[in-house]
Structure 1
Amino acid sequence: MIAAQPARSLGDLAAAFELAPAPGSPPGWQAVTVHGVRADNRRVTPGDLFAGHVGGHVHGARFAGAAVDAGAVAVLTDPAGLDLLGGPEQARGVPVLVAQDVPAVLGPLAAAVYGRPAETLRTFAVTGTNGKTTTAYMLEHALRALGRTTGLIGTVEVRVAGRGQPAALTTPQPADLQALLADMVGAGVQDLAMEVSSHALGLGRVDPVVFDVAGFTNLTQDHLDFHGTLEDYFAAKASLFTSARSRRGVVLVDDDWGRRLAQVCERERPGDVVTVSTTDADADWRAEPHDADWRAEPHDTDFRLVHRDGTTLRTSTGLPGRFNVANAALAAVMVLTSGVAPGDLEPALAAAGGLTPTVPGRMEELSTRPRVVVDFAHNPGALAQAVEALRPTTAGRLVLVFGATGSRDTAKRPEMAQVAVDGADRVIVTDDDPHDEPAEQIRAEVLAAARAHAPGADVREVADRAEAIRVAVLEADPADTVLVAGRGHETVQEISGVDHHLDDREEVRAALALRGGESAR
């Protein structure tokens, strides 16, 4: 339920955003009042303005009639959409406004209609290739530990004051985002932790939100089917750290891209962005182990954050791997950068069990003998991190089940194959989401790269993913670790445009039940 907002007149919106009325608009159109904005006719409620613009497959103006039937009181479109409407009668007689670039105006317009809800919240944004989801969950966990009422927007779910629902996109579309933020304000949310994808930044989905604190995890090869080059991918991520999109920033400088981003920020907005690292002694905040060396344990990774001025905060995370220490350190420093004192955050985290939220499908351990872990790792960097985290604590073999996504960045496939055979003792190549690409072709590319890189490696092909998981779990010895990588929390597998239910965690539990489930969680 969207929080009630004061109605805005269509005339005021047209003047504020330089929208032109279409020829033949009904008399008195300026007085029509708008209560909400939607770009999806299926989500329209009475009083909404429907925005029809160019989409991935079809122009949204084709759905204007359905939107009006659902209660839309006006239509916003572009010149191409106006041609599709063929005149005001196609919009069922409601006013039609025209903008040259509807996506560019949609976020600011929706923010105006919903009362600029982001300005009422303390907002945290996390971007980067890997670790966004985990860091956002850690942020929300820390903020709740401080007694705040929180909202969460991310890849897995949307949560409003503890009420959750599955997410459709990592970052919602502009109008949906503003409606959601208004919903949060109405529910009493004080703080928002949000994942912000490079797609969203490149397409302006978060505009005009200016986040109070932005955080950067890392950057590895991914999404080049959209961005084209790593440089363009980096530029999209870096745009979150401009003053137009954030007030303060925290950059994890454990990789070259993080260090580069920190240098850009120091040059362009000195003092607004701080650094944190598990490796760089010159960072503003350093994450250090409580013991002499980092412990490679699956649980209870204790660490302390030390500021260059000597300020210290001690905490922990139960999520495995040094990369999760980095995620936890980033989340903690983002909270500190928002103005929370270390003396307040440390006891709050201690009472909450450290930075150990439950993150669906992110290094999620489903059994102990054998240890079976489901993770979202779907690019070379994330896969390497997951393997490296599990290897030191695996007494037996490390078995990896993975595939590659179809119709996406194909350059990732040989790199993932190399990571797999270098890090795992046994590799089972299976399907991920083939989308519109032949699944057998994807598997063939991965298998060829794996066998070329390590001719003697134990590499098998099991096409059906559920069967591949069963094989891995049933053949595992009690001391083995089985890592099922690539899909994490996802429950739908797309094959040739058809969605099929497939949840790796359900398949793991079913396979464990066949073993007797003696150590299932």
Structure 2
Amino acid sequence: MGAGSLPRVPAKLEGKAVNAPPRPVRTEAVPLATLVARADAHASQSDLDVLVTGATLRAQHVRPGDLFAALPGARVHGAEFARDAVAAGAVAVLTDEQGAGLARDLQVPVLTHGDPRGALGSVAAWIYGEPSLRLSVVGVTGTSGKTTTTYMIDAGLRAAGHTTGLVGTVETRIAGQRLASAFTTPEAPDLQALFAVMVERGVTHVPMEVSSHALALGRVNGTRFAVGAFTNLSQDHLDFHPDMTDYFQAKSLLFDGRSTREVVCVDGEWGPRLVRPNTITVAVDKAADWTAKDVKSTVDGEQTFTVHGPDTVFDARLPIPGTFNVANALLAAACLTAAGVEAEAIRRGLAEVRVPGRMERVAVGQRFTAVVDYSHKPAAVAVALDAIRAKTTGRLIVVLGCGGDRDAAKRPLMGREAASRSDLLIVTDDNPRGEDPGKIRAAMIEGAMAVAGRGEILDIANRREAIAAAVAEARPGDAVVVAGKGHETGQEVGGVVYPFSDRDELEAAIREVSL
């Protein structure tokens, strides 16, 4: 192979996306025997002198020297691709008993583990030199507020002069460089490689969202958190979790000892269940270690309040509306203090924070309020619309849809929450994915129609037309809220993602109709 050339992509993988996640430039090779011993795995060969320099669970991302994790999947076992992985340079395979059978006769060691997915995070961390121990990782979990809180933490860290990384739904950032995010929390080997890249590039602190999927599937195993934080819990992801108890138990794994400091919002019913003697508590509506007093809102959506924490009091300004965002700001302040940031930097960070697609105002000179928000679960829709309603003198006009191939039970609930708060609700398509979009909208409308004293309800399938219709209806003093997709820049229909931005469409409609 010539200098600078790449290994041939196996025929079975040709045509597949090879958009590989970042890897560190240098990795200290780890003897496979060390990994076998630490992971308590069984090896198919006694000769384990081979050196491992990376890890992946996708055969199309294999680099020479990698450990390939062949995990069981919903449709196919990863071991089906083990031969392709070895052809691309994998030096060993980690799998379960079924995978070991599928991967027999390979010319590389096959490591068998009872729970390869659960072991993979720690194995990947060892391969990449346990990078989270060289970073101050602040993990935020909960149903709503993860993105907003991590952006607030990031703003405070940067105001304090730290070089930050960021991992979440909207984006991944490495010392200012932006990468698109495929998952809220990357797969375990990708996450550990990402941390290693951050260490190489001088990052010191990493705020990150930690989803229930990531906790349940072991994606953050092997990660040490300097601070773990909990926002709230409400119905979501019941297509993955059988019930709310299982959903909460997954979230609670962030507080199983992997976080050095633990910060919990106790305003809701679930947060108090996580409180232990050393837990740092946050609340807007009850007594806690961190509270907010004298909360005031301006007509343009800014909020001011006084932060009261242990041994600190300071005045804060937040350019984002909603009492729930005061709770997010308190959570961020508590996390930042736990990470060693001074109050003045926290104050500056909160005043400057901007969160794409989260209660994001679109203002181009029109005489009504226009907001894009990511709220895509019943409780989030309720709190977002309550926040806008509180500052609206005219009508509240809402555009809302639900995603396909996700928790179907929340669709009528979202329709109900929106209809009970709006003067005009326009039900439209979100990301129908592989489902019939008409059936999704019908479920939402069923919930909306059950609301006594509801306002007008329209069914407009085309999201662009729905947004335009909402803007055409708006008058001075009204508020238009386009909810559900937030920061997203695409709409997935029938397996194809088409370019689409709620923010861009809302702004275009305003310019076309109102100016």
Structure 1 and Structure 2 fold alike (TM over 0.5): yes
In the other structure, the counterpart of 2:289 is 284
Which deviations, in whole Å up to 9, do the C-alpha atoms of 1:88-131 show, x marking residues without a partner? 1xxxx333322232101101100100000000111111011100
Mean Cα displacement is larger for which, 455-464 or 439-448? Answer: 455-464
- Are 1:3 and 1:185, in contact at CA under 8 Å, matched by a contact in 2? no
- Are 2:143 and 2:233, in contact at CA under 8 Å, matched by a contact in 1? yes
Instruction: Kindly indicate whether residue 230 of structure 2 is the aligned counterpart of residue 232 of structure 1.
Output: no
Which of 497, 503, 506 is the matching residue for 1:505? 503
Mean Cα displacement is larger for which, 189-198 or 429-438? Answer: 429-438
In the other structure, the counterpart of 1:470 is 468
In the other structure, the counterpart of 1:107 is 121
In the other structure, the counterpart of 2:304 is 302
Find the residue that maps to 1:453 and give its secondary structure: coil
Which of 132, 140, 147 is the matching residue for 2:161? 147
What is the identity percentage for the equivalent residue pairs of Structure 1 and Structure 2?
Answer: 46
Q: Tell me the distance in 2 between the aligned counterparts of 1:322 and 1:97.
A: 51
Find the residue that maps to 2:357 and give its secondary structure: coil
In the other structure, the counterpart of 1:489 is 487
The amino acid that maps onto 2:402 is A
> Following TM superposition, by how much is the alpha carbon of 1:19 offset from its aligned partner in structure 2, in angstroms?
2.7
Q: Tell me the distance in 1 between the aligned counterparts of 2:504 and 2:297.
A: 31
In the other structure, the counterpart of 1:431 is 429
Q: Tell me the distance in 1 between the aligned counterparts of 2:209 and 2:328.
A: 13
In the other structure, the counterpart of 1:358 is 354
- Are 2:228 and 2:261, in contact at CA under 8 Å, matched by a contact in 1? yes
The amino acid that maps onto 1:449 is G
CA RMSD of aligned residues (A): 1.9
Mean Cα displacement is larger for which, 141-150 or 46-55? Answer: 46-55
Count matched residues.
491
Mean Cα displacement is larger for which, 142-151 or 10-19? Answer: 10-19
In the other structure, the counterpart of 1:326 is 327
- Are 1:298 and 1:390, in contact at CA under 8 Å, matched by a contact in 2? no
- Are 1:174 and 1:205, in contact at CA under 8 Å, matched by a contact in 2? yes
Which deviations, in whole Å up to 9, do the C-alpha atoms of 1:452-482 show, x marking residues without a partner? 2236520000011122112212332243211
Which of 26, 36, 46 is the matching residue for 1:14? 36
Q: Tell me the distance in 2 between the aligned counterparts of 1:334 and 1:345.
A: 12
Q: Tell me the distance in 2 between the aligned counterparts of 1:140 and 1:330.
A: 13
Which deviations, in whole Å up to 9, do the C-alpha atoms of 1:154-178 show, x marking residues without a partner? 1111111111111111111111111
> Following TM superposition, by how much is the alpha carbon of 1:401 offset from its aligned partner in structure 2, in angstroms?
0.4
Residues 248 and 297 of structure 1: CA distance in aligned 2, closer, same or farther (over 3 Å): farther
Which of 124, 148, 157 is the matching residue for 2:171? 157
Which deviations, in whole Å up to 9, do the C-alpha atoms of 1:428-450 show, x marking residues without a partner? 00111222322111111111221
The amino acid that maps onto 1:274 is I
The amino acid that maps onto 1:331 is A
Find the residue that maps to 1:225 and give its secondary structure: coil
Which of 145, 153, 158 is the matching residue for 1:131? 145
Instruction: Kindly indicate whether residue 406 of structure 2 is the aligned counterpart of residue 408 of structure 1.
Output: yes
Which deviations, in whole Å up to 9, do the C-alpha atoms of 1:471-508 show, x marking residues without a partner? 21233224321111111112232333333332222322
Instruction: Kindly indicate whether residue 338 of structure 2 is the aligned counterpart of residue 337 of structure 1.
Output: yes
Instruction: Kindly indicate whether residue 513 of structure 2 is the aligned counterpart of residue 515 of structure 1.
Output: yes
> Following TM superposition, by how much is the alpha carbon of 1:71 offset from its aligned partner in structure 2, in angstroms?
2.8
Q: Tell me the distance in 2 between the aligned counterparts of 1:13 and 1:242.
A: 24
Which deviations, in whole Å up to 9, do the C-alpha atoms of 1:180-199 show, x marking residues without a partner? 11111111110110100111
Which of 274, 277, 284 is the matching residue for 2:280? 274
Correspondence list, 1:190-269, <5 A:
190-243=204-257, 245-262=258-275, 266=276
The amino acid that maps onto 1:504 is D
Correspondence list, 1:22-41, <5 A:
22=44, 29-41=47-59
Find the residue that maps to 2:297 and give its secondary structure: coil
The amino acid that maps onto 1:371 is T
- Are 2:156 and 2:348, in contact at CA under 8 Å, matched by a contact in 1? no
- Are 1:396 and 1:479, in contact at CA under 8 Å, matched by a contact in 2? yes
- Are 1:224 and 1:409, in contact at CA under 8 Å, matched by a contact in 2? yes
The amino acid that maps onto 2:150 is A
Which deviations, in whole Å up to 9, do the C-alpha atoms of 1:274-306 show, x marking residues without a partner? 1111111x21121112xxx53364433111221
- Are 2:424 and 2:457, in contact at CA under 8 Å, matched by a contact in 1? yes
The amino acid that maps onto 2:272 is R
Q: Tell me the distance in 2 between the aligned counterparts of 1:373 and 1:212.
A: 35
> Following TM superposition, by how much is the alpha carbon of 1:75 offset from its aligned partner in structure 2, in angstroms?
2.1
Structure with the higher helix share, 1 or 2? 1
Q: Which consecutive residues of structure 1, in runs of 5 or more, have no partner in the other structure?
A: none
In the other structure, the counterpart of 1:84 is 102
